[in-house]
Chain A
Amino acid sequence: MSAESTLLYLDGVSVSFDGFKALNSLSLVMMPGEMRAIIGPNGAGKTTMMDVITGKTRPDTGTILFEGDTDLTRLREAAIANLGIGRKFQRPTVFEPHTVWDNLELALKAPRRPLKTLTYAISRDDRSRIEEILDITRLSALRNRQAGSLSHGQKQWLEIGMLLAQDPKLLLVDEPVAGMTDAETEQTAELLCSIAGKHSVIVVEHDMSFVRALGVKVTVLAEGSVLAEGSLDAVSANQQVIDTYLGR
Chain B
Amino acid sequence: MLLRFFLMGLDRKAGIVLTILAILAVAVPVMTLWVPADSPFHLSVFTVSLLGKYLCFALLALALDLVWGYCGILSLGHAAFFALGGYAMGMYLMRQIGPRGVYGNPVLPDFMVFLNWKELPWYWLGFDHFWFAALMVLVVPGALAFAFGWFAFRSRVTGVYLSIITQALTFALLLAFFRNDMGFGGNNGLTDFKDILGYDIQADTTRVTLFVATVAALALSYMIASGVIGSKLGKVLVALRDAESRVRFMGYDTESYKLFAWTLSACMAGVAGALYVPQVGIINPSEFAPASSIEAVIWVAVGGRGTLAGGILGAVLVNMGKSYFTGALPELWLFALGGLFVAVTLFLPKGLLGLGAQLKAKLPGRNKTSPLPNAKTADQKGA
Residues of chain A having any CB pair with chain B under 8 Å: 54, 56, 76-79, 81-82, 86-87, 89, 93, 95-98, 102, 105-107, 112-114, 117-121, 146, 148, 162, 166
Contact = CB atoms under 8 A, between A and B. Distances in A.
Contacts of A89: 246
Given A95-B238, A96-B376, A114-B257, A78 B248 contact: yes
Nearest to B253: A78
Contact of B239 (A54, A87, A95, A112): A95
Nearest to A114: B260
B250 A81 contact: yes
Given A86-B250, A119-B231, 15 more contacts: A76-B253, A77-B245, A77-B248, A77-B249, A81-B251, A82-B251, A89-B246, A95-B238, A97-B376, A98-B235, A107-B250, A112-B252, A117-B236, A118-B233, A121-B4
B118 interface: no
A95 B5 contact: no
Interface string B358-383: 00000000000000000011011001
Q: For this complex, into which size category does the number of interface residues on chain B fall?
A: 20 to 34
Contacts of B260: 114
B233 A114 contact: yes
B332 interface: no
B1 interface: yes
Nearest to A84: B251
A89 B235 CA distance: 21
B228 interface: yes
A5 to B, nearest CB: 25
Contacts of A95: 235, 238-239, 242-243, 246
B contact patch SS? helix
A148 B254 CA distance: 22
A-B pairs, top 6 by smallest CB distance, nearest first, are: A81-B251, A120-B232, A117-B232, A95-B239, A117-B233, A77-B248
Contacts of A121: 4
B248 A106 contact: no
B81 to A, nearest CB: 20
A86 B60 CA distance: 39
Contact of A97 (B249, B256, B257, B377): B377
A118 B232 contact: yes
A118 B231 CA distance: 6
Nearest to B236: A117
Given A97-B379, A146-B380, A56 B231 contact: no
